[in-house]
Structure 1
């Protein structure tokens, strides 16, 4: 996309928002419509689906948009709270940059369900480092493998962005990731399967037990009042 096309698209976005927020009733309709959609996405990410139980506890997750592909990879110890908030954006920056209406899919991995297939020494390492430490380690491994753009740089106080060299990170997750090659491989295999899954005809969710993929793009956005 050339610079002028980009600027035209940005101007069109601002013009559309000016129309949608044209008065107080329209603002209320905008708020209601956006929250209704975000709430539906959050419920699909966390509630029981088919034979798949509700998603709680430690997970890895990633958001794909229809154009940019994988945008962001994260981890949480409280999936029930974090995944519901993810599309709302009250305590997470992602939805402020990539609106959930543009999310093509969200992949969630219940990584503790992979532990029984990991080597015994890695199971012992996970027990020693705890669920949070393991979640950070697997998050780092997944970010290194997939290089999501929103994880690949950080905001600076000067108002610009600084690239992050994930491969040279000295974070807790990075330092612990080297001790989990087997579990990392299992996680990447589960991730790839869900990242490539096709949306079902009559549902916006695929749940494999080990993980889940939700297709917000398959949902109809609710109409305003």
Structure 2
């Protein structure tokens, strides 16, 4: 459903008015700071720490953030999931949370793609080993970005203050150059991604873990404060 310009501008003014109320004095500012970090910390904990019988999320992963209405907003990868995924909702070294607040994230999907390597053909496993996890992760990230075109990956900021479209399919980045090198691993990763993107998160929890990957629902924390 589209939003006309008048409704959009009204919503923007309402957002500013709400923040003005929340930051009305130094005490409220401190309360706002505490509440936002507490929420971001809980999201980061669900994304990384051991949950039930599942192990902690560490090392190389592919991840993506979904928001209600907008759908998949951003796809990324990291070799340090234990650090990067904790920082993702805080936004100290990542722009995503500055644009789409974690309070509005509907789902975060994380794929532990190295666990899929044993299912790939032997020659592809060897090639992936030669490429190294950094390059292989970048290749999978690029392939998924091209396939899904997340809006926050599809444009880059310009020093002139506006945005420039990115043609991901014509990129010459390291990930793009190697994206065709691991087709079976890419297919396996896409299948795991699709499954976790649709998997229902249990009512009693805000996270589901399949060992190959994890899906977390930050919005569920508003209804399940003890999740």
SS at match of 1:219: helix
Q: Which of 82, 85, 91 is the matching residue for 2:84?
A: 82
Tell me the equivalent position of 2:46. Answer: 44
Q: Distance in 2 between matches of 1:97 and 1:50?
A: 32
Which structure ranks higher in relative contact order (CA pairs < 8 Å, sequence separation ≥ 6)?
1
* CA deviations over 1:94-120 (Å, ceiling 9, x no partner): 000000000000000000000000111
Shift of 1:220: 2.1
SS at match of 1:170: coil
Q: Which of 110, 113, 117 is the matching residue for 1:111?
A: 113
The 8 Å contact of residues 37 and 221 in structure 1, kept in 2 or not, is answered as no
Shift of 1:67: 1.7
Task: Let me know the Cα RMSD of the aligned residues.
Answer: 1.2
Q: Distance in 1 between matches of 2:44 and 2:224?
A: 15
Q: Distance in 1 between matches of 2:39 and 2:181?
A: 40
Q: Distance in 1 between matches of 2:70 and 2:221?
A: 19
Q: Distance in 2 between matches of 1:153 and 1:74?
A: 14
Tell me the equivalent position of 1:213. Answer: 215
Q: Which of 91, 116, 132 is the matching residue for 2:134?
A: 132
Tell me the equivalent position of 1:202. Answer: 204
The 8 Å contact of residues 77 and 137 in structure 2, kept in 1 or not, is answered as yes
* CA deviations over 1:38-76 (Å, ceiling 9, x no partner): 000000000001111000000000000012010000000
The 8 Å contact of residues 37 and 222 in structure 1, kept in 2 or not, is answered as no
SS at match of 2:90: coil
* CA deviations over 1:13-37 (Å, ceiling 9, x no partner): 0000001000000000000000000
Q: Distance in 2 between matches of 1:143 and 1:222?
A: 32
Q: Number of residues paired by the alignment? A: 223
TM-score, normalising length: structure 2 = 0.96
Identify unmatched segments of 5+ residues in structure 2: none
The 8 Å contact of residues 194 and 213 in structure 1, kept in 2 or not, is answered as yes
Q: Distance in 2 between matches of 1:12 and 1:103?
A: 20
Shift of 1:186: 0.2
